[in-house]
Structure 1
Amino acid sequence: MITRVTHQSTQRAAVTNLQATQSRLAQLQERASSGKMITKASDDPAKAADAMALRKEQQASAQYSRNIQDGVSWLTSIDTAINTSVSYLNRARDLVVRGANSGATNAEAREALAVELEGLRESLAAQANTTYLGRSVFAGTADGPAYTQDTVTGDYTYNGSPGIVERRTGAGTTVRVDADGAAVFGTSNDPDAPDASVYALLTDIAAKLRAGEDIQSDITKIDSRKDKMLSEVTGVGARTNQLESAKEILGHKTMSLKGDLSAVEDIDLPATLIELQMQEVAYQAALGATARVLQPSLLDYLK
């Protein structure tokens, strides 16, 4: 059986092939100009889904990186505040040792020592109320300063909350970034209590100096408070190292995700350019062939 091929069917086939070739050429040109294999989900649904999942992981990693940097800044502020406070306590200890030598100090000298101790107390209060981005680093999740002073009695009150401030560094990992102000600076206004605040301790020593009382035993109290500060700063250092380690691991993961996304989305540029050139040649050949098929007929002249 002989199939009849009409001039009209040949024209339709030629135009269809030309359009298909032109569509492929446009797709290759778009890939070459954008550098991406996938410009819309319909190009490759499976790869598009993979790319979306990888981008989601990239966004999560970027957020974790911001969390880590914020946490490092919190802990750096705490480390500076505690180390500064330790230096103040070292100075206070030197003053107490000097004041304990009652045979070498007169009333005027003891008054001067008491005044300096009170100045150190105020300096310690400033360190205890250290803030980062407007939030106290020693008050937990509470708003406002960690310590406030009663204008009448002069006593300092701890206003921190038991809640802790954490930063998420991974899908199931968090790191504490604040410090327990009560453990660092104490809370009790009783200078003889185990949790005596550094403010109560220095206030009591200053009063004893003015009264000419023995302050030899207060050296041990200062050492005890300083040991608690050093214990806290050790924990801060450990948590800082944890964040730095998480930051390094996250950096490697970020680079890996970038490579994975590039493998899914990016084109092979040399191969794409070669295919584009071949498609351009094919398109030109298709144009030539179509021009031969679409010869004007007698009806075209009659029109």
Structure 2
Amino acid sequence: MRVTNRMLTNNVIRNINRNLENMARTQEQMSSGKRVNRPSDDPIVVARVLAFKTSIAANDQYKKNMEDAKGWLDASESALGMATDVLQRARELAVYGSNGTMPPESMDALGKEVDQLLDEMMQVANTSYGGRYIFGGSQTTATPFEKISNTNDPYYPVKYNGDSAALNWEIASGVTISVNENGDQIFMQAINNGSATESVFKLLNDLSAALHGGTATDVSATLNKFDQAIDHILNIRATLGAKSNRMEMAMSRLDDTQIGLTQTMSKLEDIDLAETVMNYKTQENVYLASLSTGAMVLQPSLIDYLR
């Protein structure tokens, strides 16, 4: 086969362009910091990197769900802590009023404080978190507890307007956790009277009535009920605390998982800067050498002298 000047010229230009493309690709890697910038660079690596990015994004959302769930649980536990304080203070007043030696004026003063404790318990039961009521079940936008003034109303002195639905947060693939406690169960069914239950609001109202116009015996009859109510709320607080601790451990484990995923993805797609710079300098030398060689190969031909 005869080698012509045109063939030499095409080969030289093709090789120079290929060397220039290699330099451009390496320069793009240095500027982006990524070994792969498009699927054509390495389809297998790109597919794996995309899978890692999908997992990392999903875990970021799970982390946000966990943080929101923990915030809800902590707000609920804090509110029940205040409810416990209210009941313990009311029990102290009941102990004062049950000794039978206090004058009516002092009993009445104790009753007025219990009235304030009843209002405080209402405020605690209607606690909101992020604009949502935490003890109303799925009815998070409507006030769950309503004070009733009609003594003939069966719900007197407080009515529950929420429901018993659970609020479930997804904290992992296929894993959910209920972040709320039923307000009806917490406050309206706090005392077990055998065949019926009694609310903490009725208990406080009964204590107030006993202090304002009842007897020391009537006041003393509420002490056992206060013990039941306090134990009832403490048990629910323990459940909330356990769930909150679980969220902390889950978030810590997820952080470790995210670090591992990020490191593995970095090994796949990130460049070794020192190695890449060295490769670039090598490619640059090859490119310059190809230009120099091309200049020697593409010498003037006989045609140049026949002009």
1:32 is matched with 30
Q: Does 1:123 align with 2:120?
A: yes
Among candidates 184, 187, 195, match of residue 186 of structure 2? 184
Amino acid aligned to 1:56: T
The answer for the alignment partner of 2:245 in structure 1 is: 241
Under a length normalisation based on structure 1, what TM-score does the superposition of the two structures give? Answer: 0.93
C-alpha deviation, 1:30, in angstroms: 0.8
User: CA shift at 1:189, angstroms?
Assistant: 11
Worse overlay, 174-183 or 241-250: 174-183
How many angstroms apart in 2 are the aligned matches of 1:203 and 1:191?
16
- Identity within the alignment, %: 32
Equivalent pair of 2:69/2:179 in contact (CA under 8 Å): yes
In the alignment, does 2:137 pair up with 1:140? yes
Which shifted more, 183-192 or 18-27?
A: 183-192
Confirm or deny: 8 A CA contact 2:190 2:233 kept in the other structure: no
Q: Secondary structure at the match of 1:148?
A: strand
Which residue is 1:265 aligned to? 269
CA contact 1:190–1:200 (8 Å) conserved in 2: no
- Counterpart position of 1:285: 289
- Superimposed CA distance per residue, residues 1-59 of structure 1 (whole angstroms, 9 cap, x where no aligned partner): xx200000100010000000000110011111211111011111111110100000000
Aligned pairs for 1:189-268 (under 5 A) are 194-213=196-215, 214=217, 215-268=219-272
Query: SS state of the match for residue 13, structure 2?
Result: helix
1:274 Cα offset (Å): 1.3
Q: CA deviation at 1:145?
A: 2.0
Shift of 1:275: 1.1
Counterpart amino acid of 1:229?
A: I
Q: In the alignment, which of 66, 86, 108 is matched to residue 88 of structure 1?
A: 86
Secondary structure at the residue paired with 2:181? coil
Task: Give the direction of change, closer, same or farther, for the CA distance of 1:165–1:182 in structure 2 (3 Å limit).
Answer: same
Contact 2:188–2:197 (Cα < 8 Å) also in 1: yes
State the partner residue of 2:47.
Answer: 49
Q: Is residue 183–residue 229 contact of structure 1 (8 Å, CA) maintained in 2?
A: no
Judge which range, 212-221 or 57-66, deviates more: 212-221
Q: Say if 2:59 is the partner of 1:61.
A: yes
Contact 1:185 1:198 (C-alpha < 8 Å) held by counterparts:
yes
- Whether the 8 Å CA contact 1:99–1:113 is kept in 2: the answer is yes
Q: CA deviation at 1:302?
A: 7.4
Determine helix, strand or coil for the equivalent of 1:284.
helix
Distance (whole Å) between structure 2 residues aligned to residue 97 and residue 169 of structure 1: 46
Counterpart contact for 2:190–2:228, Cα < 8 Å:
no
Alpha-carbon offset, residue 146 of structure 1: 2.2
Which amino acid is 2:145 matched to? Answer: Y
Q: Name structure 2 gaps, 5 residues minimum.
A: none
CA contact (8 A) 2:191 2:229 kept: no
Measured on the aligned residues, the alpha-carbon RMSD in Å equals: 2.1
Q: Which position in structure 2 is the counterpart of 1:156? A: 158
Q: Structure 1's 77 and 188: CA in aligned 2 closer, same or farther, altered over 3 A?
A: closer
Compute the displacement of 1:100 (Å).
1.0
Structure 2-normalised TM-score?
0.92
Q: Is contact 1:58-1:257 (8 Å) kept?
A: yes
How far is 1:237 from its partner? 0.7
Quote how far apart the aligned CAs of 1:260 are.
1.1
Taking structure 1 as reference, are residues 245 and 188 closer, same or farther at Cα in structure 2, changes over 3 Å only?
A: closer
The answer (yes or no) to whether the contact 2:163–2:182 under 8 Å persists in 1 is: no
Q: Which runs of 5+ in 1 are unaligned?
A: none
1:22 aligned to which of 16, 20, 23: 20
Distance 1:163 1:85 in 2: 22
